Structure 1
Amino acid sequence: MNIKRNVVLFIASSLDGYIAAKDESLEWLYNVEGEGDNGFSEFYETVDTVLLGRRTYDWVMNQEMEEFPYKNKQCYVFTRASNKDIEDVKFVNGSVTKFIERLKSQDGKNIWIVGGGELLHSFIQEKLVDELIITVAPTILGKGIPLFREGDYQLDLSLKGMRNFNQFVELYYEVKN
């Protein structure tokens, strides 16, 4: 039984489209009153593979955590450097398109693009994103790390659902082919 695996962006953004402040801080996000884990646990059960860019991976590793946050998932970090794989992470520096095609041809759950902006930009340009779940915080940052970078691309989307978690609004889109 081969179930189609989707590549899904699941991320929080400020109302003006930033995923982090200029200094990579997410403090603004924690200042918003949510509800429970704002749908994270429910989403997390739908994926078995996580994808991160190198800068996002480094940011995650610099946080004070008891253990690697994606320990029970296949975790791939896209990087331009050559790195040896470690216990919880495999490093990828080849063709993004070929890698995703190979992942999608395997049985499994959905594939989560954790971030960041540079990795997402390359996935959008290569038309590799199937769904976007964006949780919008009622905050305007004015500047920071943008969710979507300027580029020569267009994605047409279909709204599949929306819900709120107290002050957050989750928008669920499917990419039209």
Structure 2
Amino acid sequence: MKESRKVVLYIATSLDGFIAAEDESLDWLFRVEGEGDNGYSAFYETVDTILMGRKTFDWVMQHENGNFPYANKECYVFTKSVIQDSQHVKFINEDIVSFTNHLKSRNGKNIWIVGGGGLLQTFLKEKLVDELIITVAPALIGKGIPLFREGDYEIELSLKGFKQYNQFGELHYEVKR
């Protein structure tokens, strides 16, 4: 029997739980001394599918000057609008649960939830997340966009591992089923 693909959140956060400042800036994150790419390349090789919300997609495209950074992966952007697919992205405005379960049933590597907070909250509430890999930066930014929004979900986790990348700490959790 084949093993089901996993849906994995891989993200960085400040110690006080924010993924970006109020103005969506990540300047605080890039000021932290890391080690190489802090495990990104190794993680990136474990996935072949990318999921993100529309606001995150727009942010990525703005900050990458229109160069799509995940061109060698299958990428889906969830949106409430009807948008024409592009060379690298398929825009999805269908039910998140059935779409994600369909992806998980296909052969392939793991599936990465890039962001954002609204999409993540839906994935958590619907119990679609299998693993969380959270890199904690030694920074307190006081306010901003929270990693986890308040919501109607409670999830038990099991620690799979911890890695240190200079000043960053990576926590790897598996969702208990």
Closer, same or farther: CA 19–107 of 1 in aligned 2, 3 Å: same
Identify the residue that residue 142 of structure 1 maps to in structure 2.
142
Rounded to whole Å, the distance in 2 between the matches of 1:23 and 1:94 is: 29
Cα distance per residue 1:98-137 (max 9 Å; x no partner): 0011001100000000001111001001000000000000
Percent identity of paired positions between Structure 1 and Structure 2: 66
Identify the residue that residue 164 of structure 1 maps to in structure 2.
164
Farther off after superposition, 76-85 or 63-72: 63-72
Identify the residue that residue 9 of structure 1 maps to in structure 2.
9
Identify the residue that residue 81 of structure 1 maps to in structure 2.
81
Farther off after superposition, 104-113 or 55-64: 55-64
Identify the residue that residue 133 of structure 1 maps to in structure 2.
133
| Deviation, structure 1 residue 152 | 1.2
Code of the residue aligned with 2:150 in structure 1: it is E
TM-score calculated relative to the size of structure 2: 0.98
Matched, 1:40 2:40: yes
| Deviation, structure 1 residue 65 | 4.3
Code of the residue aligned with 1:106 in structure 2: it is R
Structure 2 unpaired stretches of 5+: none
Code of the residue aligned with 1:74 in structure 2: it is E
Two-structure CA RMSD over aligned residues (Å): 1.0
Farther off after superposition, 122-131 or 65-74: 65-74
Structure 1 unpaired stretches of 5+: none
Check the 8 A contact 1:9/1:131 in 2, yes or no. Answer: yes
Identify the residue that residue 69 of structure 1 maps to in structure 2.
69
> How many residues are treated as equivalent by the alignment?
177
Rounded to whole Å, the distance in 2 between the matches of 1:106 and 1:64 is: 30
Identify the residue that residue 118 of structure 1 maps to in structure 2.
118
| Deviation, structure 1 residue 11 | 0.1
Identify the residue that residue 18 of structure 2 maps to in structure 1.
18
Check the 8 A contact 2:61/2:67 in 1, yes or no. Answer: no
Check the 8 A contact 2:14/2:136 in 1, yes or no. Answer: yes
| Deviation, structure 1 residue 85 | 0.7
Identify the residue that residue 31 of structure 1 maps to in structure 2.
31
Check the 8 A contact 1:3/1:108 in 2, yes or no. Answer: no
SS of structure 1 residue aligned to 2:63:
coil
Rounded to whole Å, the distance in 2 between the matches of 1:73 and 1:133 is: 19
